[in-house]
């Protein structure tokens, strides 16, 4: 017997992923839905669409709107927000580290700390010192995990997860999957959870 569950696909550089990373655990618990955390990289996914940068940078009106929308939504959800001095930041190292936290279960708390560093504290999450400090704060062996993050096996695992995102039809983050059903955007988090519950009967 398996209960309702959703896959949560997110990227540490993604502004709307920030909102979902902060919101998903409490909402999923209330809904009785298990969450599989799936960090991946938007860069290759965007490249396949012909974008070599965030669409929020390529299309300035979209970017201006996004930052205002994000500030309003952070306010609505009572989340801290500070405009990052650099966007998008490089989420590669954080994603490689996060992948190692899925089985032992610290991926959720690690992901929240990294997102807060990026979107509330204006820290460079692409810097190994910043990521290491977050791991140490969580009582995890920072040096060991940073070294394990850049092994060939772990690099390949993240590359495969990113390829899988494109294969599953994803084109942005955050995305959610409930069974074969794809939901895109922080706005669809509640709908994805409801779908997973209904699908599980």
67 contributes a contact to its own copies by CB under 8 A: no
Residue 47 touches its own copies, criterion: CB under 8 A? no
Q: Is 160 in the site for its own copies (CB under 8 A)?
A: no
E strand intervals along 5-123? 5-10, 34-39
Show Cβ contacts of residue 84 under 8 Å, excluding neighbours closer than 6 positions. Answer: 118, 119, 122
**Which segment (2-10, 80-88, 143-151, 166-174) binds its own copies by CB under 8 A?**
166-174
Residue 16 beta carbon to its own copies: minimum distance, rounded to whole angstroms? 12
Instruction: Report whether 110 contacts 12 (CB < 8 A).
Output: no
Min dist. Cβ of residue 77 to its own copies (A): 12
CA angle 125, 174, 35 (to 5 degrees): 95
Cβ pair 16, 186 in contact under 8 A? yes
Query: Considering the complex, what minimum distance in angstroms separates the CB of residue 168 from its own copies?
Result: 10
Minimum distance of its own copies from residue 187's CB (angstroms): 4
Single residue of 3, 47, 57, 72 touching its own copies by CB under 8 A: 72
Residue for token digits 């860069």? 43
Categorise residue 105: left if φ over 0, alpha if ψ from -120 to 50, beta otherwise. Answer: left
- Considering only residues 121, 161, 184, 199, which one is a binding residue for its own copies as defined by CB under 8 A? 184
Query: Binding to its own copies by residue 83, rule CB under 8 A?
Result: no
Q: How far apart are CA 132 and CA 177, in angstroms?
A: 30
Tokens describing residue 153: 């096996």
- Strand pairing report for 175-178 and 5-10: antiparallel
Among 3, 29, 57, 65, binds its own copies (CB under 8 A): 65
Q: Among 1, 2, 26, 76, which residue interacts with its own copies (rule: CB under 8 A)?
A: 76
Report the site for its own copies in 119-158 (rule: CB under 8 A): none
Which residues in this chain contact its own copies in the complex, by CB under 8 A?
49, 59, 61-62, 64-65, 68-69, 72, 76, 166, 169-171, 181-185, 187-188, 191
């Amino acid at each position: 017997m398996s209960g309702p569950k959703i896959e949560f696909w997110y990227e540490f550089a993604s502004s709307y992923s920030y909102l979902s990373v902060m919101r998903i655990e409490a909402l999923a618990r209330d809904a009785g839905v298990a969450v599989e955390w799936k960090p991946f990289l938007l860069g290759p996914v965007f490249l396949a669409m012909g974008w070599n940068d965030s669409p929020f940078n390529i299309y300035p009106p979209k970017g201006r709107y996004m930052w205002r929308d994000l500030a309003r939504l952070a306010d609505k959800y009572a989340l801290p927000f500070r405009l990052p001095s650099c966007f998008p930041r490089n989420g590669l190292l954080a994603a490689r580290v996060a992948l190692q936290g899925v089985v032992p279960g610290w991926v959720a708390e690690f992901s929240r700390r990294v997102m807060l560093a990026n979107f509330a504290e204006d820290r460079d999450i692409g810097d190994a010192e910043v990521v290491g400090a977050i791991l140490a704060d969580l009582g995890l062996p920072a040096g060991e995990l940073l070294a394990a993050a850049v092994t060939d096996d772990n690099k390949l695992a993240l590359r495969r997860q990113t390829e899988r995102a494109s294969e599953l039809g994803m084109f942005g983050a955050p995305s959610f999957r409930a069974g074969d059903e794809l939901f895109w955007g922080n706005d669809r988090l509640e709908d994805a959870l409801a779908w997973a519950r209904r699908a599980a009967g």
